[in-house]
Each structure stands twice: as structure tokens, then as C-alpha cells.
Amino acid sequence: MYATHITRFVSGFTKILATYDLTDSQYWLLQIVEKEGRKTCSSLAETMDITLSAVTNLSNKLVKKGLIERIVPEHDRRTTFLQITEQGERIIQQMIDRYTVVSEGMWTSFTEEELDLLISSYRKMVTNLEQAANKRDV
């Protein structure tokens, strides 16, 4: 029974990505530059734990879609930054709005204390994943 609800939720998110013709990796890259601002391909590769050529491939597709743009600073022509466009910002907001509809009702019966515990548990889980990743990198 629970698996059906989770599958339906994941399917709903997958449909949102498909509506905007985005892969999960493209969406993740788009989210990073939306939240953190201008990023170099190298820093994105490190953040996403993927190769530089994979970032180049993802960014090429997002540039073609008009969701990000390449910025080359006058003072250093060797560096290229990726930055979200206004269209990219609109798409992110539309996706968040649709996600809100898909997840509607999921959080309604949680108390403030339960939500705090959930957030705390999520943060701990992320910390554990980061520590495990750091151990693999050593």
C-alpha cells in the first residue's frame, strides 16, 4: 500500500521533468545555478560528482533550451561561468508550483514537532551521506 503511494509520488515528479523536457541531472544542475548563482563547469562537476565532460554535455542542452547561459568575464577569458536565465528561473518556479500540487496533502497532518524531527533526521541523513562520500574520496 505504501509503495503504491510512493510510486505515484515519484511518477508525478517524473512527469513534471518530462513536461519540461529535462532529465534529473539537468534539473539538478539548473537548481544549483539557481540557488548558488554563477558557477564554473569545474565547480559543478565537483558538486555533482560527475566528469567535466558530463557537465559540458548537460550545460550544452540547457543552453540550447535557453535555461542557462555561458558568461565569459572580460578579465579572464579562460574561465566560463554558467548562469541561470530568466526563462530558467521561470521554469524552476513553474516546476516548484507543480511539485507543490503533486505533494499537496503530504504534510498537512504533521505537527510542528514532527516536521522539526523530520527535518532534523533529514539533515542527519545528508551528513551521513556526505561523510560516506568523503571516506570514498580518500
Q: Do 116 and 83 belong to one domain?
A: no
Q: Which residue is associated with the grid cell 547561459?
A: 69
A 10 A CB-CB count for 134 gives: 9
For the record, the C-alpha cell of 10 comes out as 515519484
Can you give the pTM of this predicted structure? 0.76
Burial class of residue 59 in the structure, from the number of CB atoms within 10 Å of its CB (0-12 exposed, 13-18 middle, 19+ buried):
buried
Q: Is 45 found in the same domain as 23?
A: yes
Distance CA 20, CA 89 (A): 13
The rounded distance, in Å, linking the Cα atoms of 80 and 63 is 13
pLDDT for res 101: 83
Same domain, 27 and 63: yes
Same domain, 82 and 131: no
Task: Indicate if 97 and 121 belong to the same structural domain.
Answer: no
127 and 77 both lie in a single domain? no
* Structural domain for 85, as ranges: 2-106
- 95 with 122, same domain: the answer is no
pLDDT of the residue at 138: 63
| C-alpha–C-alpha distance, residues 121 and 107, integer Å | 16
Same domain, 41 and 102: yes
- Same structural domain for residues 122 and 59? no
* CATH code assigned at 102: 1.10.10.10
What total number of domains does the chain contain? 2
Q: Could you tell me if 75 and 16 lie in one domain?
A: yes
pLDDT of the chain along its 138 residues, tens only? 567 767 877 777 788 888 889 998 999 999 999 999 999 999 999 999 899 999 999 999 999 999 999 999 888 888 889 999 999 999 999 998 888 887 777 778 889 999 999 999 989 998 998 888 888 766
| pLDDT for 74 | 86
Whether 36 and 81 map to the same domain: the answer is: yes
